Amino acid sequence: MNAVARAAKAVAGGIGVVWGAATLAFFALHLVPGDTADILMGTQALTSPQVHRRITAELGLDEPLWSQYLRFLGHLMHGDLGRSYQLRQPVWTLLGQNAWPTVSLGLAALVLALVVGTASAIATAGRRPAWRAAASAWELTAVSTPSFWLGILLLTVFSFRLHWFPVAGRNGITALVLPAGTLGLPLAGTIAQVVRESLETTLHQPFMTTARARGLGGMALRLRHALRHGASSLLTLTGLLFGSIVGGAVLVENVFGRPGLGSLTVSAVTNKDMPVVTGLVLVSATAFVLVSGVVALLQPRVDPRLRQRVSA
Amino acid sequence: SPTGEEATPVSGGTLTVALATQPGCMDSQVSQQGVTNTINRNVLDSLVSQDGSGGYHPWLAASWDISPDLTRYTFHLRHDVTFTDGTAFDAEAVKTNFARIVAPATRSQFAAGLLGPYAGTDVVDRYTVAVRFTKPFAPFLAAAATPNLGFYSPKALAERGGELCGGGPAAVGTGPFTFTSFGKGQGAVLTRNPAYRWAPATAAHPGPAYLDEIDFRFLPEESVRVGTLTSGQVDVALAVPPSNIATLRDTPSVRILQRDVPGSGYNLYLNTAIAPLDDQRVRNAVQRATDLDADVRTVFFGQYNRAWSPLSPSTVGYDKAAEHSWPFDPGMADHLLDSAGWTGRDGAGYRTRNGVRLTIDWPALPADYTTNGNATLAQAVQADLKQVGIELTRTPYDIGTYLRKIHAGQLAAADAGWSATDPDLLRLFFNSADDPAHGGQNVTRFDDPELDAWTSAAAATLDPARRSDLYRKVQARVLELGLVVPLYTPSTVVGTGSRVQGIGFDAAAQPAFFDAWVAG
Amino acid sequence: MIRRYVLAAALLLPATLIVAVPDLLYHRSPTAVDLADALRPPSGAHWFGTDQLGRDVLARVLHGAAPSWSLGLGATVFALAGGILLGLLAALAGRVADHLLLRATDLLLSLPPLLLALLAVTVLGTGRTNVMLAVAIAFIPVYARMVRSEVLAVRRSGYVEAAVGLGVPRVVLALRHVVPNTLGPLSVLGTIGFGSAILYGSGLSFLGLGARPPAPEWGAMLSEGRSFLASAWWVGVFPGLAITVSVLAVTVLGRQFRVHLTGRENR
Amino acid sequence: MKAAEPLLSVSGLEVTFRSRRETIEAVRDVSFTLAAGRCLALVGESGSGKSVTARSLLGLSGGAVRAGSLALAGTELSDLDERGWRKVRGRRIALVAQDALTALDPLRTVGAEVGETVRVHGLVPRARLADRVHTALRDAGIPDPGSRITQYPHQLSGGLRQRALLAAALGAEPELLVADEPTTALDVTVQHRVLDLLRRRKAAGTAILLISHDLAVVAGIADEIAVLREGRLVEHGPADRVLRTPAHPCTRALLAAVPRLPARPAPATAPPAAPVVLSVDHVALRFGSRLAVDDVSFRLHEAEVVGLVGESGSGKTTLARIAQGLADPDRGQVTLAGHPWSLVPERERRPLRSRIQAVHQDPAGSFDPRHPVGAILDEAIRASARRENRRERATELLELVGLPATLLRRRPSTLSGGQRQRVAIARALATRPDVLVCDEPVSALDVSIQAQVLELLAKLRRELGLAMLFISHDLGVVGEISDRVLVMKDGRVVESGPAAELFTEPRHEYTRELLAAVPQLPAPSTG
Ligand SMILES: Nc1ncnc2c1ncn2[C@@H]1O[C@H](COP(=O)(O)OP(=O)(O)OP(=O)(O)O)[C@@H](O)[C@H]1O
Ligand SMILES: Nc1ncnc2c1ncn2[C@@H]1O[C@H](COP(=O)(O)OP(=O)(O)OP(=O)(O)O)[C@@H](O)[C@H]1O
Ligand SMILES: [Mg+2]
Ligand SMILES: [Mg+2]
């Protein structure tokens, strides 16, 4: 297969995933109980049945499901995501406003998690049990601490007591530190655990003896040889990392009062706000497809054995 | 100097305010959220202004006449009011706004309801406007005082009406501030309207607002909101959690302002169409078995008062006689239940009748739609009822299922707390015409001719004495029938930093920033 | 090796007993409200203090063990089983099946997890078992991917080739060589997943899809307790510790299991 | 003998492995010295502690080491901490590890691996590193080094990997080279070149500790020979003396077992009319641009042994994999006992699998690391058609290859190279196959065990009619066991014919080259 054909296939696969995700979201949302108009009105509405019917008709919710689906696909193909039922704004505007804060938060958290996680793993893999236990303890505590706790804790110490970082607001990069920490530390814990496991497996391989026989020691051994093997399993973890970031963003944005797709997701899903959910799913699926694409490109770079077809 | 009220207000400065909820739609004519009003009150003006004791004062309307049958309200508007985009405020503007509210395309979730039996608006002359109703509609002035019936510039409505939910510069009002920017989750920024000269009589000062800018931020997490206040990162924090109030009162750098919210308070409505609550004795037993004094004091750290009536004490028409009329009396509850035939006991200690356990389900709303305190209070009530052998279960529902069930009248008990300045609220909750299947709020599903007659009559008169009398009877009767267990009176608790002065409350106990100023 | 398992079992025995018979050692009701005794700090009478309704926090932590463990373990086991099955299918079945399964996991992974879990609860209905399944469903694609890539690596190895050369049937091959050799890395995720499942479940109860109050459940207690972080830390910290300690315990077991699998001595 | 100051002196070296179940004293009280420019060969039966001794010279034995003294040119090595060791390893003492197939990091290019020592010790400026790597690869006898630098270990044949390891070790020009079976996977021509390289290094002053079970190789280069047995030095002396007049019975046994090229045609042992069990017709397989197997055909009759020799990287292993049905050829086909064997679904192959078994070139990699020897054998026994007492059979199989039953509970990672290879042979025999594909089955075995295994294979063939495809670079071994021999070069069979004929009257240029390169043992003076 030449490169063009492969690229075309990858793009087609990606489009397939995005389409599938949108479809799944569409039907999922129709399965979510409750009437969209009711939910829009909320718990304290003064609605009359007429108003209710009008809203239903206006949103096209009275049509049969398949025709709603076709209409939905039609709009989708034109890149028309429509307006939010609840917020009444064009979905693109909402996504546009909220995408960057979440993306920057996610990236910052990811970088932090990668650095802290791999550092912790490298520093302790194959070392004395006491060290390993200590590292493992912090990692697992981070993993099993809910992000709202972690966020509140970090805020209490670093913002309220020490005044190092603001809670939120338009203060640029300093306002990103604590949220990224909150989102990133549990991830770092996961990464450290997985990478350490992989490092320790690698450190027992025969080629490690050869490498040591060349005068490589401690750090060099880990960085130059073992880490590559760890990176390979890390790449496999992208799905998890992606999900944790998208999922964790909700709570972190809530605690820090940050704008972002996370809080938008919760309100859109719970309010059955179809256009927004669709938009979010599209964004999320596209991002995932891109991330997996990058991973698919990176994986054979890290592990050359993947570059050839497997026979038998 | 932080000596308080005697100091002279100074102009200038930015006030940073931490809000507890993220507004969804920022269009006051559409949204039903309180937080939308908190922000928009500074941008949108109303025809009239209501004071804390139920009196009405001129605002955009210099005066008004009401037809004797309460179906036609004529307002004489001020001549000097302009929107911040330069458009003049006149009768046309009123008509355009009200027409928009009731237009189906607007899908108003709340304001359209406030207009009640709206029939139309007539432009009498440029500055005189008449609002017509198909039925007598006494609560209209109260409604007209809310930001939900505030006015957007007709020009802006025509040009950017579709963007109002997104807030920001598209929202052009006549208010003391202009809406500079809004981002979901990001916060809202309001900037002073220097041309403002039509503050209502209820305001403490005429002319423009003192503050240059108000910067609203959304911090839903309670402890974070408190932390930002105590660490000086915000000037004002709304919805201070009860657990922190006592400590904050003792914190020198913080001041606590508190005002009881008028309206229905926070109550538990019992569905009389579902067994075992179809038996009045069981309903009364629930009332008597609930030790609200202790429950409310503990759960809300002594900061909120228990309720005695389905109206909160700061509401016009509140019946003081309801107080202590149904005290905690587990003995009486036991007696009532025994007489209702719930005499058996099962292994878990609950009462039974013919082998059936005495169980009441009070469905739990998703956390987004309730507060930690309310959820905890429910557990306290659960424990109280267990003492007399009633099992109170709390089935968790997602919001969709919850609403479907409530509209179908399938929930045995439902909690609600509404803020409103007019006791007409009682009609929504207890008039049989307002049953949930028809979009009403009468989840008790109790069909009582007397209650129907009294609530309808009260909506058709403006005579304060007559209204009080009617509403007093309503309150007494619903308590006697056991349709409702009033739980507590919520209050608005605002924490401010010491440099902040002049924050007040409007009639609905919403914090008002027009008179606020910052020292230094 | 055996001795270590005995040791681990000995350690887990009290935990199991607590899960099975929560009031074996500590006889207090987890739901008894005592308003006069609300928010008391830890003391001789209440070892872990009391919560805002005067309920004994220790009793609630103990009684919360069973539902929390069943959520954590149940979801993890389900997700692992589902993930292993899908991952094996993807890696060992034909190209078409692999492609389809891969795309399907892609699809699930690409959705916001909240939506996925919500959908699961919606379709299955609320309730403890269904929340557990919902969490499991959200985890399955992650495990499936992990398994698949591990399987691909294992499949290239000499010992699988040797087994193929012996004519070992595909299923036996998968069970004897492939699965055990992928379990090592997977068990790391599994032990972490145990804790996340409990937290995830508490997230769902946030949306009105989780545990019923006043039943004690660690995730729910944790989120109740956060309002008191400054004033009454014990309300939230103890259930939090319970989760962490459980995760640590499960990890120690998992590590032991891994050592057994890989035949590597724990240095 | 020069009375030079010893570069390396070892006295009283002891290495023990302690596990919960047992304590293995792998090396006991070993002492020797080695001067610069000299070569000491460590020989001894498999599992006698050679590799462990070698590794402990770099502080990498993995067990508990006690030594009276371990000195390198005045530096006391046994006192070194990890940092100190690091300065010594690679630069002053270099190691060529025994298992070439697993000794290279699969994720790094050959160039990176080979250049590592030089880079780590900062021996040449970065800019000249590439040149240095290139030179090192060429010196180690790797043809077209430029194209190999960017390849990964799995793309190299066994012999190429071994040479890459050697290049990596010699790249930094160490004072002492510890080479553990550096030529096992090499065909004789390449072996010849590698030995030349070692000799040149020796002449340039490098001390060499050579471990090899191939006494002919040892004879060609070693100045002294030390014989290990069960961890003890049983004999130590000048090479010539030890080879000609061995003192210890163990040494004598080793020497007696060395196979030699047949001097005259032996009668063919396979009846010519025996049925064909395996038929390979015009198969070809390509990896990228490299044609690993190019139009190869041969037939294997019942009870026949076909030897396969040829240059390293010429496609022997690949051909073996095709024959075994583990790789499908791009062209051509394979038939096993009349059934189509290539390009058919695995489902159809599976019932026939037990009839064709293989000993892999890389036995270490062919064992599931989690399984102890017992489980490994058990799996194969179960795959055989017969019902039998599996435990007994496993013990019996181990006995067959000369291993004690105590090994059943050991994991492959704790076995010596020879022990592993014998386990692999035992496993291949477990199903009582008709055809055995052996890829270097005896290359890691010391001569006495090798003789034992060869005798075993010959017996199986005689008694059970076992047919074999036998790959080895050791022409002596091939000559001893094969009826017919195929010679491969660059993926093609360049010559084939009855073994005796081919070795005495080679026709192809390459075959002649091969034969000329075979190292010879000096004639024993006992006769
Ligand atoms: N890590 C280990 N743990 C336990 N036993 C070991 C370990 N490494 C080696 N041994 C044992 O030590 C003994 C010597 O092993 P060594 O590898 O030195 O043998 P060898 O002489 O190199 O044999 P061969 O020629 O087969 O490679 C063997 O019995 C082996 O099983
Ligand atoms: N997976 C692979 N990818 C690319 N090239 C390969 C692969 N496997 C083998 N080759 C190449 O195919 C050729 C033949 O390799 P093969 O392993 O069959 O050699 P061999 O004759 O067994 O050599 P040796 O005696 O050194 O083991 C070599 O050039 C090798 O580099
Ligand atoms: Mg060895
Ligand atoms: Mg080979």
Residues 191 through 220 of chain B touching chain A, CB cutoff 8 Å: 217-220
Q: Which residue has the tokens 């793993």?
A: A121
What pLDDT was estimated at residue B1? Answer: 38
Higher pLDDT, B162 or B308: B308
β-sheet bridge partners, residue B191: B178, B213
Q: Which residues of chain A have pLDDT under 50?
A: 309-312
Residues 173 through 232 of chain A touching chain B, CB cutoff 8 Å: none
Closest CA to C132 of C86, C221, C201, C63: C201
Interface touch A216/D90, C-beta < 8 Å: yes
- Is B161 touching A (CB cutoff 8 A)? no
ipTM exceeding the 0.85 mark: no
Q: Could you report the per-residue pLDDT of D455-470, keeping only the tens digit for each?
A: 888 888 888 888 999 9
Which residues lie closer than 8 Å to B363 by C-beta, 6 or more apart?
Answer: B394, B395, B396, B397, B402, B405, B411, B413, B414
Q: Would you place residue D385 in the very low, low, confident or very high pLDDT band (cuts 50, 70, 90)?
A: low
Task: Give the nearest ligand 2 atom to D161 CA.
Answer: 26
Q: Could you report the per-residue pLDDT of B237-247, keeping only the tens digit for each?
A: 999 999 889 88
d(CA D212, CA D216): 9
Give yes or no for residue D265 having a pLDDT over 50: no
User: Quick count: other Cβ atoms within 10 Å of Cβ D3?
Assistant: 6
What pLDDT was estimated at residue B346? Answer: 92
Interface touch A151/B221, C-beta < 8 Å: yes
For the purposes of burial, counting CB atoms within 10 Å of the CB of A211, is it exposed (0-12), middle (13-18) or buried (19 or more)?
buried
Higher pLDDT, D146 or B63: B63
Q: What mean pLDDT do residues C164-181 have?
A: 81
Interface touch D383/C166, C-beta < 8 Å: yes
Interface touch A42/B32, C-beta < 8 Å: yes
- Is B367 touching A (CB cutoff 8 A)? no
Give yes or no for residue C1 having a pLDDT over 70: no
- Is C169 touching D (CB cutoff 8 A)? yes
CB D305 within 8 A of CB D481: yes
Neighbors of chain C by Cβ distance (3+ pairs < 8 Å): A, B, D
Q: Could you report the per-residue pLDDT of B430-449, keeping only the tens digit for each?
A: 998 888 777 678 889 999 99
pLDDT above 70: percentage of residues in chain D: 95
Q: Would you place residue D322 in the very low, low, confident or very high pLDDT band (cuts 50, 70, 90)?
A: very high
CA-based nearest distance D247→chain A, Å:
35
Q: Which residue has the tokens 């009468």?
A: B442
The segment with the largest mean pLDDT, out of A6-10, A194-198, B307-311, D141-145, is B307-311
Model-wide pTM > 0.90: no
Mean pLDDT for chain B overall: 91
Q: What mean pLDDT do residues D68-82 have?
A: 83
Q: Which residue has the tokens 């019975």?
A: D249
Cis status of the peptide bond prior to B154, with omega within 30 of 0? no
What pLDDT was estimated at residue A2? Answer: 62
Q: Could you report the per-residue pLDDT of B90-103, keeping only the tens digit for each?
A: 999 999 999 999 88
- Is B339 touching C (CB cutoff 8 A)? no
What pLDDT was estimated at residue A44? Answer: 60
Closest CA to D349 of D381, D383, D377: D383
Q: Would you place residue C211 in the very low, low, confident or very high pLDDT band (cuts 50, 70, 90)?
A: low
Q: Phi and psi at residue D431, in whole multiples of 5°?
A: -85, 5
Q: Could you report the per-residue pLDDT of D178-198, keeping only the tens digit for each?
A: 999 888 777 788 888 888 889
Q: What mean pLDDT do residues C79-93 have?
A: 81
- 3-state SS track over B48-72: EEECCCCCEEECCEEEEEECCCCCE
What pLDDT was estimated at residue C265? Answer: 46
Q: A165-169, C237-241, D245-249: lowest mean pLDDT where? A: A165-169
For the purposes of burial, counting CB atoms within 10 Å of the CB of D1, is it exposed (0-12), middle (13-18) or buried (19 or more)?
exposed
Chains A and D touch (3+ CB pairs under 8 A): yes
| CA dihedral sign of residues C218, C219, C220, C221 | positive
What pLDDT was estimated at residue C261? Answer: 65
Q: Which long-range contacts (CB under 8 A, 24 or more apart) does C168-176 make?
A: C168/D379, C168/D383, C169/D350, C170/C92, C170/D346, C174/C88, C174/C92, C176/D368, C176/D379
d(CA A236, CA D104): 23
Residues 90 through 109 of chain B touching chain A, CB cutoff 8 Å: 104-105, 107, 109
What distance in angstroms lies between residue D420's CA and the mean position of ligand 1's atoms?
10
How far CA C226 is from CA of B298, C16, C238, D215, D264, in Å, comes to 17, 28, 12, 76, 92
Residues of A in contact with B403 (CB under 8 A): 34-35, 38-39, 43
Closest CA to A199 of A135, A291, A107: A135
Q: Could you report the per-residue pLDDT of A127-152, keeping only the tens digit for each?
A: 877 888 888 888 888 888 877 788 88
Q: What mean pLDDT do residues C219-229 have?
A: 80
What pLDDT was estimated at residue A95? Answer: 87
Q: What mean pLDDT do residues B504-517 have?
A: 92
Parallel, antiparallel or unpaired: strands B236-237 and B14-19? parallel
Q: Would you place residue D363 in the very low, low, confident or very high pLDDT band (cuts 50, 70, 90)?
A: confident
DSSP string, D100-137: TTTSS-TTS-HHHHHHHHHHHTT-S-HHHHHHHHHHHH
Q: What mean pLDDT do residues C168-172 have?
A: 80
Q: What mean pLDDT do residues C24-45 have?
A: 83
Q: Phi and psi at residue D92, in whole multiples of 5°?
A: -100, -40
Whole-number CA gyration radius for chain D: 23
The highest-level CATH class for domain D276-516 is: alpha beta
Task: DSSP letter for A311, please.
Answer: P
Domain ranges of chain D: 276-516
Give yes or no for residue C3 having a pLDDT over 70: no
What pLDDT was estimated at residue D360? Answer: 85
Q: Which ligand has the nearest atom to the CA of C264?
A: 1
d(CA A219, CA A203): 12
Higher pLDDT, D399 or A309: D399
Q: What mean pLDDT do residues B179-208 have?
A: 88
Give yes or no for residue B256 having a pLDDT over 90: yes
Q: Would you place residue D267 in the very low, low, confident or very high pLDDT band (cuts 50, 70, 90)?
A: very low
Q: Give the burial string for C64-88 (b: 16+ CB within 10 Å, else e).
A: bbbbbbebbbbbbbbbbebbbebbb
Closest CA to A248 of A85, A153, A110: A110
Q: Would you place residue D3 in the very low, low, confident or very high pLDDT band (cuts 50, 70, 90)?
A: very low
Q: What mean pLDDT do residues D352-379 have?
A: 86
Q: What mean pLDDT do residues C101-117 have?
A: 78
- Is D103 touching A (CB cutoff 8 A)? yes
Q: Would you place residue B458 in the very low, low, confident or very high pLDDT band (cuts 50, 70, 90)?
A: very high
User: Quick count: other Cβ atoms within 10 Å of Cβ C194?
Assistant: 28
Q: What mean pLDDT do residues B181-201 have?
A: 87
Structure tokens at B351: 């009462």
- 3-state SS track over A223-262: HHHHHHHHHHHHHHCHHHHHHHHHHHHHHHHHHHCCCCHH
User: Quick count: other Cβ atoms within 10 Å of Cβ D85?
Assistant: 17
Higher pLDDT, C91 or B326: B326
What distance in angstroms lies between residue D363's CA and the mean position of ligand 2's atoms?
17
* Residue whose CA is at the smallest distance from ligand 2 atom 27: D158
Give yes or no for residue B55 having a pLDDT over 80: yes
Q: A244-248, B425-429, B486-490, C49-53: lowest mean pLDDT where? A: A244-248
Q: How many CA atoms does the CB half-sphere of B193 hold within 13 Å? A: 27
Give yes or no for residue D1 having a pLDDT over 50: no
Residues 24 through 63 of chain C touching chain B, CB cutoff 8 Å: 31-33, 35, 38, 52-54
d(CA C152, CA C145): 11
Residues with CB under 6 A from ligand 2: A 308; D 154-160, 185, 287, 290, 292, 312-318, 361
How far CA B383 is from CA of B188, C216, D432, in Å, comes to 42, 14, 76
User: Quick count: other Cβ atoms within 10 Å of Cβ A267?
Assistant: 17
Mean pLDDT for chain D overall: 85
What pLDDT was estimated at residue A229? Answer: 83
Structure tokens at C196: 């996340």
Residues of D in contact with A207 (CB under 8 A): 102-106
Higher pLDDT, D112 or B360: B360
Q: What mean pLDDT do residues B361-389 have?
A: 89
d(CA C1, CA C260): 7
Q: Could you report the per-residue pLDDT of B157-174, keeping only the tens digit for each?
A: 999 888 888 888 999 999
Task: DSSP letter for B8, please.
Answer: P
Q: What mean pLDDT do residues D158-177 have?
A: 87
